[in-house]
């Protein structure tokens, strides 16, 4: 995302000066990276790069979003927090200390650092086929791998009951404080959920194929929906094992995202009993730090139902 060969004129003028501390280095890096972010055409975040590579039946299901007010607000808040130097120094020191005892993800969640944004509430409504002004409420949501709940909160108002799974004990505590019912990662009882969200989890879990089978088993067969998001190209990584490799591997052919989408739908989702209803592309945003106002990846969102 950051091209180290590109830098603003101010950074070029000062790059020869000796850098005496890591804080000074971070400040110089931030000047460069924020200039890069300012130059991005954010409309490209929502468009397919090679739509011609998608299977025709999948192209017809693609829905193009745009940056809405809630997304812009998150980006602006991230920039303001990144510019708050005392806050960033405090976060950096606290994170360094906490990661001696707990995983970095848990440490960041505990201090309120690095909150995520996948979609706005109105974008989520559109994915579910609801009008933005709709007051309709589903009975139940299960958010798998809910993290600190920052994404869950954007969905929660549409449901009478919200459930969540999360491996981190620190995150479980945070989620329970919002009133969400925490379920065991592997045991969900006999509940059938109206909506199950699995946002950027499939490439970060130990047994992705088993998880997909479990999701199908627990999705309400009467118009239940599954919202699945993946960062493509697909690169699995499991934080809680020594070699960071999942126990179950998902092999996906193709180098470009559109090629991988064809593979995922045809060779993974469909054989496991899912039918694609809608697909879109959104920026997967994360709050920044001392070196960058915010981070982003290309997220591909699949709306599925039971076939």
The CATH number of residue 268's host domain is 3.40.50.150
Q: What is the pLDDT of residue 14?
A: 37
199 in helix, strand or coil?
A: strand
Q: What is the pLDDT of residue 251?
A: 85
Shared domain for 31 and 159, answered yes or no, is no
Residue 205 lies in a domain: yes
Q: What is the pLDDT of residue 3?
A: 41
As to burial, measured by CB atoms within 10 angstroms (0-12 exposed, 13-18 middle, 19+ buried), residue 232 is buried
Residue 100's pLDDT band, with cuts at 50, 70 and 90, is low
Which of 124-133, 172-181, 239-248, 288-297 is predicted with the least confidence, judged by mean pLDDT? 239-248
Contact by Cβ (8 Å): 225, 144: no
Shared domain for 135 and 17, answered yes or no, is no
**Could you tell me the residue range of the domain that residue 232 belongs to?**
69-306
pLDDT digit string, tens, across residues 158-199: 999 999 999 888 889 889 999 999 999 999 999 999 999 999
Shared domain for 26 and 140, answered yes or no, is no
The neighbouring-strand residues paired with 177 are none
Note the Cα 175 to chain centre separation in Å.
17
Residue 233 lies in a domain: yes
Number of domains in the chain: 2
Shared domain for 163 and 271, answered yes or no, is yes
Residue 1 lies in a domain: no
What does the alpha-carbon distance between residue 48 and residue 89 come to, in Å, rounded to a whole number? 38
Residue 286 lies in a domain: yes
What does the alpha-carbon distance between residue 259 and residue 233 come to, in Å, rounded to a whole number? 9
Residue 92 lies in a domain: yes
Shared domain for 171 and 33, answered yes or no, is no
Shared domain for 139 and 34, answered yes or no, is no
Residue 85 lies in a domain: yes
pTM for the full predicted model: 0.86
Residue 157 neighbours by CB under 8 Å, 6+ apart: 121
Shared domain for 147 and 36, answered yes or no, is no
Residue 175 lies in a domain: yes
């Amino acid at each position: 995302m950051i091209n180290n060969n590109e830098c603003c004129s101010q950074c070029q003028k000062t790059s020869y000066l000796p850098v005496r501390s890591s804080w000074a280095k971070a400040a110089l890096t931030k000047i460069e990276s924020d200039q890069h972010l300012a130059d991005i055409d954010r409309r490209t975040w929502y468009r397919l790069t090679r739509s011609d590579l998608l299977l025709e039946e999948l192209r017809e299901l693609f829905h193009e979003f745009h940056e809405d007010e809630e997304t812009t607000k998150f980006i602006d808040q991230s920039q303001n927090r990144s510019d708050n130097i005392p806050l960033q120094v405090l976060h950096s020191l606290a994170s360094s200390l906490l990661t001696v005892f707990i995983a970095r993800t848990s440490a960041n969640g505990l201090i309120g650092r690095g909150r995520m944004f996948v979609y706005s509430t109105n974008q989520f409504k559109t994915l579910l086929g609801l009008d933005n002004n709709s007051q309709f409420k589903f009975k139940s949501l299960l958010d798998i791998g809910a993290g600190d709940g920052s994404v869950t909160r954007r969905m929660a108002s549409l449901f009478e009951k919200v459930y969540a799974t999360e491996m981190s004990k620190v995150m479980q505590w945070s989620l329970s404080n919002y009133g969400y019912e925490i379920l065991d990662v592997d045991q969900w009882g006999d509940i059938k959920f109206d909506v199950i969200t699995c946002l950027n989890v499939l490439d970060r879990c130990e047994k992705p194929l088993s998880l997909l089978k479990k999701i199908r088993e627990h999705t309400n067969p009467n118009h239940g929906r599954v919202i699945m998001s993946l960062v493509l190209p697909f690169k699995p990584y499991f934080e809680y094992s020594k070699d960071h490799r999942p126990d179950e591997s998902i092999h996906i052919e193709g180098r470009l995202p559109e090629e991988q989408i064809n593979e995922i739908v045809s060779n993974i989702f469909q054989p496991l009993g899912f039918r694609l209803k809608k697909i879109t592309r959104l920026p997967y945003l994360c709050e920044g730090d001392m070196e960058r106002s915010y981070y982003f990846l290309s997220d591909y969102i699949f709306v599925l139902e039971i076939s």
